[in-house]
Amino acid sequence: MPSLLLLLGLTNQEQSTMATGGAGAGEVRHWTAAVNGISLHVAEQGPATGPAVLLLHGFPELWLSWRHQMSALAARGYRALAPDLRGYGDSEVPAGGAADYTMLHVVGDVVALLDHLGLPDALVAGHDLGAQVLWHLCLFRPDRVRAAVALGVPYFPRSPVPMADFLAARGDGFYISQFQEPGRAEKAFAKHDVATVLKKFYSLELDDLSAPPGVEVIDFFQASPSPLPWMTEEELGQYADKFQKTGFTGPLNYYRAMDLTWQLTAPWHGAKITVPAKFIAGDKDTGVQSLGVGRYIDSGAFKSNVPNLEVAIIEGHHFIQQEQAERVTSEILSFLDKFI
Query: What residues are annotated to the active site?
Result: 128, 255, 318
Other beta carbons less than 10 A from residue 185's beta carbon: 23
Q: What is the dihedral of CA 307, 313, 316, 318, to 10 degrees?
A: 20
- Parallel/antiparallel/unpaired status of strands 145-151 and 277-282: parallel
Dihedral sign from CA coordinates of 25, 151, 307, 104: negative
Answer yes or no: are the C-beta atoms of 155 and 194 closer than 8 Å: no
Phi first, then psi, for residue 36 (nearest 5°) are: 55, 35
Which DSSP letter does residue 58 get?
-
Give every strand in the sheet of 29-35, ordered side by side. Answer: 29-35, 38-45, 79-83, 52-56, 122-127, 145-151, 277-282, 309-314
Answer yes or no: are the C-beta atoms of 10 and 18 closer than 8 Å: yes
Helical axes 129-140 vs 103-117, angle rounded to 10°: 70
Nearest CA-CA partner of 210 in 174, 167, 172, 168: 174
Cα–Cα distance, 311 to 183 (Å, whole number): 38
Cα–Cα distance, 329 to 103 (Å, whole number): 27
Q: Which residues have CB under 8 Å from 172's CB, separation 6+?
A: 178, 213
Phi first, then psi, for residue 149 (nearest 5°) are: -125, 115
Bridge partners, 55 (sequence order): 125
